[in-house]
């Protein structure tokens, strides 16, 4: 596979500038006719070793397949999605490669915090500018640039990609897609943090990683980015009406209003009785992968 990505936007020019190290296989398990694997590599962007999960569907044995990137939420590693979401059966049926990275840099010497919502496990898919985070907390560059370069260089991956995520990862998926027009065929989210500048989780992370500059915050806030988006990718968002973080942290109504004001297509589904857990993700992951497969097949 060739790891050269072409684009006209500065957001992803980094892909051709980063030379990812070859990944080392950590584990491999047969799943629905394909292989659920975990790899480790040395990240030059994050300055540490990183794990990521890759599901290769049966169709990958015959040629390149489109890639769906999954971004997990607070406290997660690459393991949560690959063991709890039940996504492999859908990916095998649809011929999709699934890639699930970790949520932050980790390891000896990586800055951390005692709280669950800052530091390791809480990278927020941004590029930090404040100390002690600035050197290694660059998950935006990792997801947009280094990881796809590695996937497309070492796996049977087509240059057709999409992105989705949950909670903090839903925030990351929306932000990354909105900032990189033409790069992703589809985007969706389950229980995303849609207005991080206006909720406690986002405000705490942005203040620590980005400082007090509200302009810097806006660059990683989906409810603000959608107002200036240069591409109208249809957005699919599922949120449970029993989600324990709905009113305090998710605030999907802010995102809905922002989309309505600029005419950005949004399907926001409030799912009765569902919460913030992986039971919700597992229930609706098939719908989301169908949404992605339809766009990736065009």
Using alpha carbons, list the distances in angstroms from residue 294 to 87, 146, 288.
16, 26, 10
What pLDDT is recorded for position 298? 85
CA 85/CA 88 separation, integer angstroms: 8
* Residue 276 is a catalytic residue: yes
pLDDT tens digits, residue range 193-220? 999 999 999 999 999 999 999 999 999 9
- From the list 59, 134, 54, the residue with the least C-alpha distance to 92 is 59
State the Cα angle at 66 between 45 and 4, rounded to 5°. 45
- From the list 82, 83, 125, 297, the residue with the least C-alpha distance to 222 is 125
Q: Write the CATH number for 189.
A: 3.40.50.1820
Residues 149/157, Cβ–Cβ less than 8 Å: no
* Residue 243 is a catalytic residue: yes
Selecting among 141, 221, 238, 243, the annotated active-site residue is 243
Residue 34 lies in a domain: yes
Intervals of the chain under pLDDT 50:
1-18
Using alpha carbons, list the distances in angstroms from residue 184 to 33, 160, 229, 295.
27, 7, 13, 9
Residue 18 lies in a domain: no
CB atoms within 10 A of CB 81: 27
CA 294/CA 8 separation, integer angstroms: 24
Residue 90 lies in a domain: yes
In the chain, the number of structural domains is: 1
Domain containing 208: what range? 24-297
Selecting among 171, 264, 276, 291, the annotated active-site residue is 276
Residue 97 lies in a domain: yes
Residue 62 lies in a domain: yes
What does the chain come to in residues? 298
Selecting among 31, 145, 162, 167, the annotated active-site residue is 167
Residue 4 lies in a domain: no
CB atoms within 10 A of CB 215: 7
* Residue 241 is a catalytic residue: no
Residue 293 lies in a domain: yes
CA 157/CA 1 separation, integer angstroms: 7
CB atoms within 10 A of CB 290: 14
CA 270/CA 96 separation, integer angstroms: 27
Residue 17 lies in a domain: no
Question: Quick check: pTM over 0.75?
Answer: yes
């Amino acid at each position: 596979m060739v790891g050269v990505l072409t684009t006209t936007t500065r957001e992803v020019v980094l892909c051709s500038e980063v030379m990812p190290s070859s990944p080392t296989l950590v584990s491999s398990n047969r799943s629905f006719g394909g292989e659920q694997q975990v790899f480790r590599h040395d990240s030059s962007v994050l300055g540490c070793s990183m794990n990521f999960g890759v599901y290769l569907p049966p169709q990958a044995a015959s040629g390149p397949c489109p890639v769906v990137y999954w971004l997990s939420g607070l406290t997660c590693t690459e393991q949560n999605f690959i063991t709890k979401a039940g996504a492999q059966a859908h990916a095998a049926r649809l011929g999709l490669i699934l890639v699930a990275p970790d949520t932050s840099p980790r390891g000896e010497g990586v800055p951390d915090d005692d709280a669950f919502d800052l530091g390791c496990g809480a990278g927020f898919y941004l590029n930090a500018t404040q100390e002690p985070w600035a050197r290694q907390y660059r998950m935006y560059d990792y997801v947009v640039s280094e990881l796809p370069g590695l996937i497309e260089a070492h796996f049977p991956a087509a240059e057709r990609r999409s992105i989705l995520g949950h909670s903090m990862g839903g925030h990351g998926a929306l932000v990354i897609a909105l900032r990189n027009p033409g790069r992703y065929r589809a985007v969706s989210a389950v229980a995303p943090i849609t207005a991080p500048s206006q909720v406690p989780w986002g405000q705490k992370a942005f203040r620590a990683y980005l400082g007090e500059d509200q302009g810097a915050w806006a660059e990683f806030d989906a409810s603000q980015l959608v107002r200036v988006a240069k591409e109208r990718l249809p957005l699919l968002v599922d949120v449970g009406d029993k989600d324990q973080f709905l009113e305090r942290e998710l605030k999907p109504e802010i995102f809905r209003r922002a989309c309505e004001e600029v005419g950005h297509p949004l399907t926001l589904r409030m799912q009765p009785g569902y919460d913030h857990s992986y039971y919700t993700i597992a229930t609706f992951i098939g719908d989301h992968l169908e949404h992605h497969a339809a766009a990736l097949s065009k």
